[in-house]
């Protein structure tokens, strides 16, 4: 890291030599010493006097001390270490060349464990001072002068573990696109080809469901095809059993998407897709978005029935297809003998044609100024300025399900990504 500006975060124990060796090796521009009440004095009395003659600048402007309340209490150590994260972020934000090194050698095992646990989210390098010779027959402390610095990039970062953990949480909250972007960033940083491939497969998985959420069924199906082709990566990430269960869902979902693609005209499968999408938006408390999808589903049910049962296209209705009473009623709306009809008119036409869907009991709840459809029209995403609440969404969902004779098992449900085997097995 020659030429870099290093922020060294180091635990402090009773033996100064290992930490001095780390300071001489890294030559940091700034240091945060993590000490207990018992070892805080070691910094000024021993570490600084030993390091400065070797060219390490440790004047008061270059060092800070964070005292841990109880060096034997893991919980309190981690809680106190939270104070460091803003300083680390600020240091890294200064630009290229600013690096963070986490030195774990000094202090109690509890202090070192707390720092390693807390720093796993930082872009950093882990450092440890070992040596070629130890006291007590090779099992004691490192003999002064034989210190050797061992270091490696944060394994949670280089192995993609942190990205996987973050992506799982995002995906399971319904934030598929954000999960995909997190995995992309990790994939671009990874050096190991196997890690890159695994992250790419998981990125394809999350991007597939992000595309599905945007009704891009073709892109979603293609990406799921890539995931199925690289199925072994799922077993590596999630374990054989969980990976197989996830793969089973993926294969069924791809078949479902293919059905939507091959029957691209409006059909009941698309209505189910709209309702399932609405339930996902509602889980995010995006009720205006959810109700917009349900409105479209209610409209689509009428369009499907008119098309399949009566040969009528709502975007181009010939006046000759209308019952006599409606021909007179809607005559002034026709242009060149045809007219376009919306949701309410579609159900009115079905009713006048004697179709059961037009006289469905739910229809009485969907008409009038207080119907859930009217609530949707008053939505800030439609024609009004009033956001839709949970009760409005719930009422329209119930009406849509009854009208379409849908059940929960009819609706495609996105999978939950399990915890990765890699996380469970990490030492």
pLDDT digits (tens, 9 = 90+) for 142-191: 445 556 787 666 666 666 777 888 899 999 999 999 999 999 988 887 87
- We report the CATH number of the domain holding residue 85 as 3.40.50.10770
Residue pointed to by tokens 């995010």: 284
The CA distance from 231 to 242, in Å, is 12
What radius of gyration, in Å, describes the C-alpha atoms of the chain? 32
pLDDT of residue 147: 62
Higher pLDDT, 254 or 363: 254
pLDDT band at 77 (very low <50, low <70, confident <90, very high): very high
pLDDT of residue 139: 35
Check whether residue 348 and residue 250 sit in a common domain: no
Check whether residue 21 and residue 147 sit in a common domain: yes
**Range 71-93 average pLDDT:** 93
The CA distance from 167 to 416, in Å, is 11
What's the domain count of the chain? 3
In a domain, 423, yes or no: no
Q: Considering 122, 154, 186, which residue would you say is the last residue of a domain? A: 154
Percent of the chain with pLDDT over 90: 64
The residues with which 130 forms a beta bridge, in sequence order, are: 148
Long-range contacts of 308-317, Cβ-Cβ distance < 8 Å, separation of 24 or more = 309/355, 310/353, 310/355, 312/349, 314/340, 314/341, 314/342, 314/346, 315/340, 316/340, 317/341, 317/349
| 114-146 pLDDT, tens digit each | 999 898 878 888 999 976 544 444 434 444 555
Q: Considering 218, 234, 264, which residue would you say is the last residue of a domain? A: 264
pLDDT band at 422 (very low <50, low <70, confident <90, very high): very low
In a domain, 64, yes or no: yes
pLDDT of residue 207: 97
Check whether residue 14 and residue 138 sit in a common domain: yes
pLDDT band at 38 (very low <50, low <70, confident <90, very high): very high
In a domain, 37, yes or no: yes
Q: What are phi and psi of 311, to 5 degrees?
A: 65, 30
| 2-15 pLDDT, tens digit each | 458 999 999 999 98
pLDDT of residue 137: 43
Residues 6+ apart with CB under 8 A from 177: 206, 207, 210, 213
Check whether residue 380 and residue 295 sit in a common domain: yes
**Range 49-59 average pLDDT:** 92
Check whether residue 362 and residue 285 sit in a common domain: yes
Q: How does strand 147-153 pair with strand 125-131? A: antiparallel
The CA distance from 222 to 17, in Å, is 58
Percent of the chain with pLDDT over 70: 89
Check whether residue 169 and residue 287 sit in a common domain: no
The CA distance from 193 to 200, in Å, is 10
**Structural domain of 356:** 268-410
The answer, yes or no, to whether residue 354 has pLDDT greater than 50, is: yes
pLDDT of residue 146: 52
In terms of Cβ atoms closer than 10 Å to its own Cβ (0-12, 13-18, 19+), residue 388 is buried
Q: Considering 229, 264, 299, which residue would you say is the last residue of a domain? A: 264
In a domain, 34, yes or no: yes
pLDDT of residue 189: 78
Higher pLDDT, 381 or 177: 177
Check whether residue 236 and residue 373 sit in a common domain: no
| 205-253 pLDDT, tens digit each | 999 999 999 999 999 999 999 999 999 999 888 888 889 999 999 999 9
In a domain, 420, yes or no: no
The answer, yes or no, to whether residue 201 has pLDDT greater than 60, is: yes
CB 201 within 8 A of CB 227: yes
pLDDT of residue 156: 64
Check whether residue 143 and residue 166 sit in a common domain: no
Q: What are phi and psi of 189, to 5 degrees?
A: -85, -25
On whether the pTM is more than 0.75, the answer is: no
Q: How does strand 147-153 pair with strand 317-318? A: unpaired
pLDDT of residue 425: 42
| 264-277 pLDDT, tens digit each | 667 888 999 999 99
Check whether residue 34 and residue 51 sit in a common domain: yes
Check whether residue 282 and residue 358 sit in a common domain: yes
What is the overall mean pLDDT for the chain?
87
In a domain, 329, yes or no: yes
pLDDT band at 373 (very low <50, low <70, confident <90, very high): confident
Check whether residue 169 and residue 135 sit in a common domain: no
Check whether residue 150 and residue 170 sit in a common domain: no
In a domain, 130, yes or no: yes
Quote the distance between the C-alpha of residue 348 and its chain's center.
Answer: 44
pLDDT of residue 161: 77
Token pair, residue 39, equals 């070892």
DSSP 280-346: HHHHTT-HHHHHHHHHHHHHHHHHHHHHHHH---TTSEEGGGS-HHHHHHTGGG-BTTEE---HHHH
The answer, yes or no, to whether residue 89 has pLDDT greater than 60, is: yes
The answer, yes or no, to whether residue 46 has pLDDT greater than 80, is: yes
**Range 55-75 average pLDDT:** 92
In a domain, 416, yes or no: no
Residues 6+ apart with CB under 8 A from 187: 160, 163, 196, 199, 200, 203
């Amino acid at each position: 890291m020659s030429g870099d500006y290093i922020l060294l975060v180091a635990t402090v124990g009773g033996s100064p030599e290992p930490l001095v060796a780390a300071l001489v090796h890294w030559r940091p521009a700034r240091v945060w010493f993590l000490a207990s009440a018992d070892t805080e004095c070691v910094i000024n009395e021993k570490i600084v006097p030993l390091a400065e003659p070797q060219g390490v600048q440790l004047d008061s402007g270059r060092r800070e001390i964070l005292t841990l309340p109880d060096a034997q209490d893991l919980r309190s150590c981690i809680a106190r270490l939270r104070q460091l994260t803003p300083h680390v972020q600020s240091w890294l934000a200064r630009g290229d060349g600013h690096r963070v090194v986490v030195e774990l050698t000094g202090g109690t095992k509890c202090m070192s464990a707390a720092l390693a646990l807390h720093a796993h989210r930082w872009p950093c390098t882990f450092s440890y001072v070992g040596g070629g010779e130890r006291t007590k027959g090779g099992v004691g402390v490192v003999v002064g002068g034989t210190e050797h610095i061992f270091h490696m990039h944060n394994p949670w970062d280089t192995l993609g573990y942190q990205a996987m953990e973050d992506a799982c949480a995002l995906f399971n909250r319904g934030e598929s696109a954000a999960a995909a972007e997190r995995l992309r960033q990790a994939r671009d940083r990874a050096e190991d080809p196997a890690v890159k491939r695994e992250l790419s497969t998981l990125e394809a998985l999350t991007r597939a469901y992000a595309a599905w959420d945007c009704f891009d069924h073709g892109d979603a199906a293609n990406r799921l095809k890539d995931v199925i082709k690289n199925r072994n990566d799922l077993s590596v990430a999630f374990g054989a059993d969980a990976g197989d269960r996830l793969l089973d869902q993926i294969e069924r979902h791809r078949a479902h998407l293919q059905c939507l693609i091959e029957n691209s005209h409006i059909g009941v499968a698309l209505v189910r897709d709209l309702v399932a999408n609405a339930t996902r938006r509602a889980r995010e408390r995006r009720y205006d978005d959810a109700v917009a999808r349900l409105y479209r589903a209610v409209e689509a049910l009428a369009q499907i029935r008119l098309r399949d049962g009566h040969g009528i296209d709502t975007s181009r209705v010939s006046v000759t297809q209308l019952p006599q009473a409606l021909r007179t009623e809607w005559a002034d709306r026709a242009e060149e003998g045809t007219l376009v009809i919306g949701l309410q008119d579609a159900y009115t036409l079905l009713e006048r044609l004697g179709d059961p869907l037009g006289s469905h009991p739910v229809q009485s709840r969907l008409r009038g100024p207080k119907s859930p459809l009217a609530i949707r029209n008053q939505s800030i995403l439609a024609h009004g300025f009033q956001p839709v609440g949970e009760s409005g969404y719930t009422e329209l969902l119930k009406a849509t399900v009854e009208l379409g004779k849908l059940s929960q098992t009819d609706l495609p449900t996105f999978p939950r990504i399990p915890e990765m085997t890699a996380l469970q097995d990490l030492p």
